[in-house]
Amino acid sequence: MTRLKNLLTGLGQHVRAELTTYADRGLARQVHGDSPGGDAQFDVDEVAERAVLTYLREHADVPLAVYTEDGSLVELAPEPRYVLVVDPIDGTRPTSAGLEMGMVSIAAAPLARSAPTLDDVTAAYLLEIKSGAWIYGDDEGLTHGGFPHALPRLSRTTDPAKMFWSIEFNGHPMHLMTAAYAHLVDRSANTGGIFVFNSATFSVSRIITGQLDAYVDIGNRVLRDHPATEPDFLEAGRGSILHLFPYDIAAAVYLAKRAGVTITDAYGDDLGTTQLLDLDPMNQKSCIAAATPQLHKELLGAIRWDLPGATPTTTGGTR
């Protein structure tokens, strides 16, 4: 595992260095197109994607394939033994704004079969672009650096009224999310805290650090439960369904499980069957993560899955 750890950590540090150098020239915040999944791609995404391939072509000492947000699957050697699932920047928008929530996310899985899943991940690495703090995990446990205390440091919060939590809105119609959990936002905003980070990885990692109690992204369940809302999701996503892609969560879910976080999809089902290399909307995911099993149970029961008072703003076919 030492070779793999060195490769993952070296890759993350290289991407961070390239992004730091680029940021020193001034933040452009330019959109250059869309990823294969349909998400807008900024100038910093191009810098990070190039950095991933450059580093791995020079330093990979095992036969590898790499799967990134923009580049899809690239085999760097014949008959690759591992695939690295890399989101070079999870949190493109905060990174573009020079904020703290952007992270490099890397998960490694053996390529023993053609369709590896999240359950196949054997090592993962998250690196904060702004601070350089990091979390690494494999079969030997978690290691970390740059944090002021030992990890994991899960909170003991069980009451939704007191939870510090984050939610997701990118590609998620606001009126549908409001119908589902506005009451939870109202309940917790004053006696707890509610945040939108635009980074699933950062949100989940903050549960590991003890800074957050929970993270909720329910878009994919809302769409599955209410297929008539598809036009609303397509409108919010500029023509694409933008829920949690495998590269968004591969590293974070692995590390969260190693840390003892209760993390599932929004039905309460395990995320392990998620295929790592498939961007289809039916393989995209929802997520509810909590520091305690009780808080997780409370969230599953408190979110209004029937969407009371909500109707689609447009009409159209279902998936």
Residue ranges of the annotated binding site for Mg(2+) are 69, 87, 89-90, 248
Residues sharing a CB contact under 8 Å with residue 148, sequence separation 6 or more, in sequence order: none
Judge contact between 91 and 101, C-beta under 8 A. yes
Distance of CA 16 to the CA centre of its chain: 17
Tell me the C-alpha distance between 69 and 103, whole Å.
Answer: 13
DSSP string, 211-225: S-SEEEE-HHHHHHH
Tell me the C-alpha distance between 136 and 209, whole Å.
Answer: 13
DSSP string, 23-90: HTT-----EEEE-TTS-EEEHHHHHHHHHHHHHHHHH--S-EEEEETTTEEEESSSS-SEEEEEEEEE
User: What Rg, from alpha-carbon coordinates, does the chain have?
Assistant: 19
Annotated binding site: 69, 87, 89-90, 248
Strand order, beta sheet including 134-138: 72-75, 64-68, 82-90, 103-110, 123-128, 134-138, 141-145
Angle among Cα 44, 166, 284 to the nearest 5 degrees reads 65
